[in-house]
């Protein structure tokens, strides 16, 4: 019998709620709550929601009216979700539009423990500014650093969407002890580009996240939305395909492209140590040689 088979399992059930969002925040919250209940009924102990799930993805345009969607964190949404978490004994990761002060807003994820306690928040560090993803208009970059939350069931590191492209963010979160890297996400295709670039774009998105799991020996949980939002002739077609991958980068479960889904899958936290001792990337890091990583670019001198 191999060593891996003799190790005590540490099974945690992870739930993903992939949503098709609407313009009605109350309807979206009710949909999220129903998804959390459905996941808990399937045995989920940790449930993750998509990025900015309370609204349509409003960053497709620069419009001051959308600042009215923001709320304090903690605030009304965390209070509502805390009651649900305590009732169902589940951990909830919820992505919210945070109003910190007058004129100061963040793209923020709140983490609520299984007893309903608000554990804290992570503010999105990397803010994109691309066609139909005009987030710099709305969000101030995060200033809380990279964080890990010690929940009842696992240590969760939360990063948000554009953060998922940066190995530095995943590494620093993993170095704080994360068992799971959780990425609430809102990403999709520009319909005019889909035929030519769609497959490569989606593959890049999934591969980069799975590679963070491999490099750091962590589980990865990525939760997207689905459906078309915005201009019917353009807009964004969100590609769904929320997934969980294990520390070897293998996909455990993947949601469909074009419909909402509630998925629950078991992860075994004991596999993290097995993976890290067989592929000891953290052991062999040359931390004495990485000082230049804090420079923008290494110009020739």
Q: Per-residue pLDDT tens for 47-102?
A: 999 999 999 999 999 999 999 999 999 999 999 999 999 999 999 999 999 999 99
Which residue, among 242, 238, 179, has the nearest Cα to 15 in the 3D structure?
Answer: 242
pTM attached to this predicted model: 0.95
What pLDDT was estimated at residue 8? 86
What pLDDT was estimated at residue 301? 61
Which residue, among 256, 190, 265, 187, has the nearest Cα to 221 in the 3D structure?
Answer: 265
- The confidence band for 233, taking pLDDT boundaries of 50, 70 and 90, is confident
Annotated catalytic residue, options 21, 33, 51, 271: 51
Tell me which DSSP letter residue 19 carries.
B
Annotated catalytic residue, options 99, 124, 147, 271: 124
- In angstroms, the CA 125 to CA 141 distance is 5
5 has pLDDT over 60: no
Q: What is the mean pLDDT of residues 233-241?
A: 96
Q: Per-residue pLDDT tens for 13-22?
A: 999 999 999 9
Q: What is the mean pLDDT of residues 286-292?
A: 96
Annotated catalytic residue, options 48, 59, 161, 182: 161
What residues are paired with 156 via a beta bridge? 149, 180
CATH number for the domain formed by residue range(s) 10-283:
3.60.110.10
4 has pLDDT over 70: no
Q: What is the mean pLDDT of residues 138-151?
A: 98
Torsion of CA 198, 200, 201, 206, to 10 degrees: 120
Q: Per-residue pLDDT tens for 152-191?
A: 999 999 999 999 999 999 999 999 999 999 999 999 999 9
Our answer to whether residue 161 is catalytic in this structure is yes
Our answer to whether residue 51 is catalytic in this structure is yes
- In angstroms, the CA 43 to CA 222 distance is 19
3 has pLDDT over 70: no
Q: What is the mean pLDDT of residues 137-163?
A: 98
Backbone dihedral angles phi then psi of residue 225, each to the nearest 5 degrees = -100, 175
Q: What are the structural domain ranges in the chain?
A: 10-283
What pLDDT was estimated at residue 2? 58
Q: What percent of the chain has pLDDT over 70?
A: 97
What pLDDT was estimated at residue 299? 87
């Amino acid at each position: 019998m191999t060593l891996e088979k003799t190790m005590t399992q540490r099974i945690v059930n992870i739930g993903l709620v992939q949503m098709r969002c609407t313009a009605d925040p109350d309807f979206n919250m009710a949909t999220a709550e129903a998804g959390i209940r459905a996941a808990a009924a399937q045995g989920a102990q940790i449930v993750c929601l998509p990025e900015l799930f309370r609204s349509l993805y409003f960053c497709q345009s620069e419009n001051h009216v959308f600042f009215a969607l923001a709320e304090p964190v903690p605030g009304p949404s965390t209070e509502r979700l805390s009651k649900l978490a305590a009732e169902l004994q589940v951990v909830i990761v919820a992505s919210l539009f945070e109003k910190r002060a007058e004129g100061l807003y963040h793209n923020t994820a709140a983490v609520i423990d299984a007893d309903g306690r608000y554990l804290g928040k992570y503010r999105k560090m990397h803010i994109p500014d691309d066609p139909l993803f005009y987030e710099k208009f709305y969000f101030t970059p995060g200033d809380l650093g990279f964080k890990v939350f010690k929940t009842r069931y696992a240590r969760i590191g939360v990063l948000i969407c554009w953060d998922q492209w940066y190995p530095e963010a995943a590494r620093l979160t993993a170095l704080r002890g994360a068992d799971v890297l959780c990425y609430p996400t809102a990403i999709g295709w520009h319909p005019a580009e889909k035929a030519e670039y769609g497959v490569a774009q989606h593959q890049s998105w999934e591969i980069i996240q799975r590679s963070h799991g491999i490099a750091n020996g962590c589980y990865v949980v990525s939760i997207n939305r689905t459906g078309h939002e915005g201009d019917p002739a353009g807009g964004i077609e969100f590609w769904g395909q929320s997934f969980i991958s294990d520390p070897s980068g293998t996909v455990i479960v993947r949601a469909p492209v074009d419909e909402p889904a509630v998925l629950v899958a078991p992860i075994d936290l004991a596999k993290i140590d097995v993976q890290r001792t067989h592929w000891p990337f953290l052991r062999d890091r040359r931390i004495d040689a990485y000082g230049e990583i804090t420079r923008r670019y290494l110009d020739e001198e």
